Structure 1
């Protein structure tokens, strides 16, 4: 009788152990997210993080320019002309910006790769304040709207050259790279890879505009 009692107890324990294993693996099966679900969640999170990065990055500067505008109207009489001139002082607020909402990218969830497909060009806005001093003209060659348009155009062209030779665009690009690096941090922290122009981006200096 003792042998059969022991065997009966052993069966009970085996049944309990098997039941426990079935419940455990059943729980794991129904609660553990599938690889497909994980990829989908990762993709959604990365898209949200990139969207959070998307904003207008702006660098501001101030430039001043002094121009002398001259115009001469000749007559049929040799040596007789009608002249007009003005001293023009331009103070301009300039912004150089990148709209990161225009950055486009592709997400390869299977390979865990985010590829930046386009980075927008900088947007330069010049807001000049133009003042005229020592204005001289004659009745037969007075200042017109066309003169003021020429002065404004010349002022913007001159300012554009100054901006090109300044550090304003470089500073704006550095700020842009700093913002794009946040995408690198997000992807790396989740085990994804960031690419641009066919190159894997591992650090900020790898991002070349």
Structure 2
């Protein structure tokens, strides 16, 4: 009889501990899901256009000649051109790709979109000289616009505009890094574990 009571007690204890174990496991999974949702929300929050703006000015002279009769006669057109351009450098983080590994508590950034450079030039013509045989045409304006954008692209490459945009990108992604570190998760960019802002900066600027 006593043996039977002992077996019943042991059985009840076993059921009790199994129940508590399952309950514990359920809470742990719930916490992981909660943390995962918070991190996803933070990624959504930074998933916006990160924009740096700049302004550039330049002055150039456009010349063109039409020649006739073995180059004995020519008709020239020229103009002084003043360009003021607004330039934006943006990252559309809505296109960022990432993976959430709940088991290993790791967020892996798989892809960060390249910067988008938009040049909006305002072109003004001064001291325009032309003839009826060689007037300004739409083709001239297209050539000028193409030349202006090419020159501005060189200026942008030598300026700090792209570097400033990268710094803003790093600042936004650091918000994800802070959150993952706070929750005991890891942030990984491709094959590198990101420990701090310096790691993030080095990886992005590679």
Coarse TM-score class (shorter-chain normalised):
0.7 to 0.9
Distance 1:200 1:29 in 2: 33
Within the candidate set 123, 127, 130, 1:130 is matched to 123
Q: Which moved more, 1:76-85 or 1:140-149?
A: 76-85
Label 1:83 to 1:28 Cα distance change in 2 as closer, same or farther (>3 A). Answer: same
- Aligned residue number for residue 142 of structure 2: 149
- 2:176 maps to which residue? 183
Q: Distance in 2 between matches of 1:65 and 1:50?
A: 40
2:37 is the alignment partner of 1:44: yes
Shift of 1:48: 1.2
* 2:9 matched residue in structure 1: none
Residue 50 of structure 2: aligned partner: 57
Q: Deviations over 1:139-180 (max 9, x none)?
A: 110000110111011001100100010000000000000100
Deviation at 1:39, TM superposition (A): 1.8
* Structure 2 gap segments, 5+ residues each: 1-12
Q: Report the Cα distance in structure 2 between the residues aligned to 1:25 and 1:51, rounded to whole angstroms.
A: 41
Give runs of aligned pairs for residues 1-209 of structure 1, distance below 5 A.
33-207=26-200, 208-209=203-204
Match for residue 3 of structure 2?
none
1:35, CA displacement in angstroms? 2.4
RMSD between aligned alpha carbons? 2.1
Counterpart for residue 17 of structure 1: none
SS in 2 for 1:142: coil
Distance 1:117 1:150 in 2: 40
Go from structure 1 to structure 2 and tell me whether the alpha carbon gap of 1:178 and 1:138 turns closer, same or farther (over 3 Å shift): same
Q: 1: CA distance between counterparts of 2:46 and 2:141?
A: 42
1:52 Cα deviation after fit: 1.4
After superposition, the C-alpha distances for 1:157-205 in whole angstroms (9 at most, x for unaligned) are: 1001000100000000000001001110011010000001201000111
Give the drift of 1:38.
2.1
| CA drift at 1:34 | 2.9
Shift of 1:96: 0.5
Q: Distance in 2 between matches of 1:48 and 1:193?
A: 16
